[in-house]
Amino acid sequence: MSVHKYLLSGSSLKVATMAAVDRLSASLPNSFEEGREEGLLELVRHELTIAMTGALYGPENPYDDPEIEASWRDFVPGISHLLYSPFPSLTARKALRARSRVIDAFRKYFETGGHLQAFPMIPEMYEINKSHGLASEEAAKMEMATSLAMLSSGAVTAFWLMFHILSNPDIAETIREELCAVAKDESASDMATPRTKVLDLNGIKDTCPTLMAMLNETLRHHSTVINIKQVQHDTTLAGQYSLRKNGIVMIPGQSIHHNTNIWGPSANDFDHRRFLTAEHKKNLSNTTAFRPFGAGATMCPGRHFSTSVILSLVAMVVLQYEVEPQQGQWIAPTKRNADLWNAMPKPDWDIDVKLTKRIEEKDIEWKFVWGDGAVKISS
Beta bridge partners of 230: 248
Which residues line the annotated binding site for heme? 300
Q: Where are the beta strands (DSSP E) in the chain?
A: 37-39, 184-185, 195-200, 226-230, 235-237, 241-243, 248-252, 321-325, 352-357, 364-369
Of 375, 257, 366, residue with least CA distance to 317: 366
DSSP per-residue letters across 188-224: SSTT-SSEEEEEEGGGHHHH-HHHHHHHHHHHHHH--
Counting every residue, how long is the chain? 379
Of 297, 285, 314, residue with least CA distance to 44: 314
316 and 24 in contact (C-beta within 8 Å)? yes
For the whole model, what pTM was predicted? 0.92
Q: Is 67 strand, coil or helix?
A: helix
Q: What is the maximum span of the chain, computed from C-alpha positions, in angstroms?
A: 74
How many alpha carbons lie under 13 Å from residue 265 in its C-beta half-sphere? 0
117 and 64 in contact (C-beta within 8 Å)? no
Phi–psi pair at 198, nearest 5 degrees: -120, 130
Ramachandran class of 35: left when φ > 0, alpha when ψ lies in -120 to 50, beta otherwise: left
Question: pLDDT tens, position by position, for the chain (379 residues)?
Answer: 567 888 888 899 999 999 999 999 999 888 887 778 899 999 999 999 999 999 999 999 999 999 999 999 999 999 988 888 888 888 889 999 999 999 999 999 999 999 999 999 999 999 999 999 999 899 999 999 999 999 999 999 999 999 999 999 999 999 999 999 999 988 867 777 778 899 999 999 999 999 999 999 999 999 999 888 899 999 998 889 999 999 999 888 899 999 999 999 999 999 999 999 888 888 888 888 998 988 877 788 899 999 999 999 999 999 999 999 999 999 999 999 988 888 899 999 999 999 998 988 778 889 999 987 544 443 3
Domains of the chain (ranges; CATH) run 2-369 (1.10.630.10)
Of 300, 153, 148, residue with least CA distance to 227: 300
Which residues line the annotated binding site? 300
How far apart, in whole angstroms, are the C-alpha atoms of residue 305 and residue 319?
A: 21
How far apart, in whole angstroms, are the C-alpha atoms of residue 321 and residue 295?
A: 36
332 and 351 in contact (C-beta within 8 Å)? no
